[in-house]
Amino acid sequence: MSLLNIVIANVNFITYCNDMPLLIEPQPASYEPFFIEKTVSGTGSLTIDIILKTEFLPSTEGLTEIFEDCGSWAMFKKGIEYSLVLNPSLPDGPECIARFNPRFEKVTVYCGGIDIVEVAGKKYVRNPFTYPLDQLLLMHILAERGGALIHASGVDFHGRGFMLSGRSGAGKSTLSKKFALQGHEVLSDDRIVVRKIHGEFRMFGTPWSGEAGIAKNKDLLLNGIFFIHHGESNFIRKISPAEAVKRLMPVTSIPWYDETMMTKILTFCEELVSSCPAYDLFFRPDIDIQDTFKELIPK
């Protein structure tokens, strides 16, 4: 048996393959901190088994397609079971099909021919548990267990955790680089997981980094949320929970195709902004942010 353990946001994804050896190809550098030999246990930890099958690709006939993302992946459903299909339009069939139910602890991934390779005369199955499969599965796991994946960077500012959220181009990587150069630890410069664990909201670094390439397998208590914007000067203003929810929606990964799961993530976001203070942060890239940020963060 070949196996691999990847830990993201205290979720152990253990990939097993009984059919043939698992080929661990060179992954992006951002994934390296998330490959861990031993499983993580303790507060908030979860374990999800990823079972690889190589004998055949199941048919999607009789399943209802509920979403399709420009040919890169599609989601089907029958009863309570989901079927996530990667690259469904390939001439020789999809890259793989992952099957799971809503509150799953096991995922069966059927690997297509594209994932079977031969090295030195021996057949291997390539690890399919990478982007986007890992991210899509984590989105579903978080929806069911009090969490969300958010377009944001996470900064440890003198022991306090702050999330700097914004769409692509808002300046997440720019600010992340500035904070890192000033000696502050940055968990990620593009995507952050936020989970509610025993009544506290914690943010976690992820392997899905942005332009700055920052991805750390660490977590912090979340003390505040900043929605970042380019401005003529550096300043912040506090916003209401209602305003914060509106800003959070466009930057949160939400399965809009599933009403039940969508409702759970929306409820989580409402709880998040009701518990953590939220602010608009305007900044100029050419002005030092550290002193301004230190003056403006909540005391």
Same domain? 16 vs 156: no
Count of domains forming the chain: 2
- pLDDT bin (cut points 50, 70, 90) of residue 49 is very high
152-181 pLDDT tens trace: 999 998 888 999 998 888 788 888 988 898
Q: What is the pLDDT of residue 164?
A: 95
Last residue of a domain, one of 109, 142, 175: 142
pLDDT at 287 over 70: no
- Closest residue by Cα to residue 45 from 105, 98, 86, 122: 105
- Inform me whether the pLDDT recorded for 231 exceeds 90: no
CB 92: neighbour CB atoms within 10 A? 9
149: nearest Cα among 195, 181, 199? 195
In this structure, the answer to whether residues 135 and 178 fall within a common structural domain is no
- Which carries the bigger pLDDT value, residue 37 or residue 100? 100
Mean local confidence (pLDDT), 39-52? 90
* Calpha distance 54→289 (Å, rounded): 52
pLDDT, mean of residues 70-87: 95
- 118 with 195, same domain: the answer is no
184 & 211 share domain: yes
Q: Does 89 share its domain with 168?
A: no
Same domain, residue pair 82 and 150: no
Positive or negative: CA dihedral 127, 128, 131, 136 = negative
In this predicted structure, the answer to whether residue 296 has a pLDDT above a threshold of 80 is no
Q: Which two tokens stand for residue 46?
A: 């979860």
Q: For residue range 86-130, list pLDDT tens digits in order.
A: 999 888 889 999 999 988 999 999 999 888 888 888 998 988 899
Looking at residues 192-211, what average pLDDT do you find?
96
pTM of this prediction? 0.93
Q: Which of 94, 222, 249, 105 lies closest to 153 in space, CA to CA?
A: 222
Residues 99 and 44 in one domain: yes
Closest C-alpha to 162, from 293, 28, 31: 293
3-state secondary structure of 108: strand
- Domain holding 257: CATH number? 3.40.50.300
pLDDT digits (tens, 9 = 90+) for 232-276: 888 888 999 999 999 999 999 999 999 999 999 999 999 999 999
Query: In the prediction, which pLDDT does 259 show?
Result: 93
The pLDDT of residue 2 is: 65
User: What does pLDDT average to over the chain?
Assistant: 91
Q: Which of 104, 124, 142 delimits the end of a domain? A: 142
Instruction: Supply the DSSP string of 211-275, one letter for each residue.
Output: TT--B-S-EEEEEEEEEEEE-SS-EEEEE-HHHHHHHHGGGB---TT-HHHHHHHHHHHHHHHHH
Residue range of the domain that includes 176: 146-296
Both 128 and 183 in a single domain?
no
Question: What separation in angstroms does the CA of 213 have from each of 180, 216, 222?
Answer: 12, 10, 22
Is the pLDDT at 285 greater than 80? The verdict is no
Domain boundary among 116, 142, 168: 142
Q: Write down the pLDDT at residue 277.
A: 94
Predicted confidence at residue 205, as pLDDT, reads 97
Q: How confident is the model at residue 298 (pLDDT cuts 50, 70, 90)?
A: low
* Domain co-membership, 157 together with 291: yes
Same domain, 159 and 275: yes
Looking at the structure, do residues 93 and 223 belong to the same domain, yes or no? no
Is the CA virtual torsion 86, 88, 90, 93 positive or negative? positive
Looking at residue 233, its pLDDT comes to 80
Judge whether residue 43 has pLDDT over 90. Answer: no
Asked if residues 180 and 284 have their Cβ atoms less than 8 Å apart, the reply is: no
Residue 146: predicted pLDDT: 95
Residue 299 confidence class, pLDDT cut points 50, 70, 90: low
Give pLDDT, residue 272.
97
Residues 178 and 248 in one domain: yes
Choice between 283 and 187, residue whose per-residue pLDDT is larger: 187
Check pLDDT > 90 for residue 74.
yes
